[in-house]
Amino acid sequence: MTTVVNDTTTEQHSDLAAELPEVECPSAVAPRDARELSKQFFDRLRFLDEGTHEYQYARNTLIEMNMSMVRYVARRYRNRGDDMEDIIQVGTIGLIKAIDRFDLSREVEFSTFAVPYILGEIKRFFRDTGWAVHVPRRLQELRSDLAKAKEELHVQLDRDPTVQELAAHLDLSEDEVIEGIVAANGYCAGSLDTPTDPDPSHQRRALADVLGEEDPAMGTVEDLHALAPLLQELDERERQLIELRFGQEMTQSQIGAELGVSQMHVSRLLTRTLTKLRTGMLSDR
């Protein structure tokens, strides 16, 4: 009895597959015709087994016929500076996910179901790869919320909103808003070779030429950072000697009087101690 049922089911599936219309160029099908054809293909697809030739034909045809939806959604992002082909490829992933999860019994238009999937994949692509500097996802989402809040408040106030007003609007603390504003600076990066004056008739200087200069104090900070562990390795008398000479800025004569030794002996002790410190700073530790 079971064998008869299986044979009957297989025959029904074969008949359903045979009823699929042959579409020579699915990508050339008009959107209105694609909507009607898609219903037929979805109706047959649920009876076909994955991996079969008929299933692949139905699924691939659905993808190609509905690529116009991907291109429609992708056009919203054509001014984002990314290659449109990359955006379309990402949107196609959303389309495929929608096709695999769509159910005709829901009585919802496929376009209504698919567009959020396509849009979601494209937004995820920009969220994960569009930032010049990687920041936590929480701050990436906060950047979008801040942008919307600024637009809404600008319309209401007829001016740019303050941090306090943004915080109240989004129910956040001012520190969180400031963190989001700072993080937004990492979305895009400018070249240091960018001219500071866009007018070609003026003397054009690169941005790197006016950003500032090297702080000589940075070298001192690095030296002190390297010196600290070396000072800890000195014995108590050597550390006292360094403290008196460089901390309290005493002369060698004053140090000799403090320690009860001659100035010559202080000079020899200082020379030996400073040589030890210099050698330590120049060696690879």
pLDDT of residue 105: 82
Distances (CA, A) of 246 to 36, 216, 222, 252, 260: 88, 21, 18, 11, 19
Nearest to 282, CA basis, from 223, 234, 232: 223
**pTM of this structure:** 0.46
Mean pLDDT for 146-173 is 89
Give domain 2-129's CATH architecture: Up-down Bundle (1.20)
Residue ranges of domains in the chain: 2-129, 132-191, 217-282
Question: Who wins on pLDDT, 211 or 74?
Answer: 74
pLDDT of residue 7: 44
Q: Domain spanning 132-191 has what CATH number?
A: 1.10.10.10
Three-class SS of 165-202: HHHHHHCCCHHHHHHHHHHHCCCCCCCCCCECCCCCCC
Same fold, 2-129 and 132-191: no
CA dist 142 and 230 (Å) reads 46
Q: Is the domain defined by 217-282 classed in CATH 1.10.10.10?
A: yes
Mean pLDDT for 104-110 is 83
Cβ-proximal residues to 43 (8 Å cutoff; 6+ apart), any chain: 104
pLDDT of residue 64: 92
Give the Cβ contact number of residue 240 at 10 Å: 15
**For the chain, what is the mean pLDDT?**
80
pLDDT of residue 8: 42
pLDDT of residue 123: 83
What is the band of 197 on the pLDDT scale with cuts at 50, 70, 90?
Answer: low
pLDDT of residue 11: 47
Mean pLDDT for 266-280 is 89
pLDDT of residue 189: 58
What is the band of 211 on the pLDDT scale with cuts at 50, 70, 90?
Answer: low
